[in-house]
Amino acid sequence: IMVEQHNTGVVITKVFDKSPAQVDGILPGDLIIKVDGNDVRSGTIEQVVSKIKGPENTSVEISVLRENQ
């Protein structure tokens, strides 16, 4: 995924084809609110990305808030 810092928090701007995020239904425009159960709404983009990144073939749970839902 690619993300940007917005005034509401860290927002997903791109989901790569055939990525685990795409398979799990993550969409551009989704606001990341939790990473592995930890609230990241007040975090900077650097803090959020550091929680998402990890060694290849490891998993992370991302909770998002989707506009209009």
- Alpha-carbon distance 60 to 69, whole Å? 23
Write down the pTM of the prediction: 0.90
Strand partners, 36: none
Token reading at 68: 């209009």
Read off the pLDDT of residues 45-55 as tens digits, 9 standing for 90 and up. Answer: 999 999 999 88
pLDDT of residue 7: 93
Chunked mean pLDDT (size 10), the chain, 69 residues = 95 95 95 97 95 88 89
User: 30: which DSSP letter?
Assistant: P
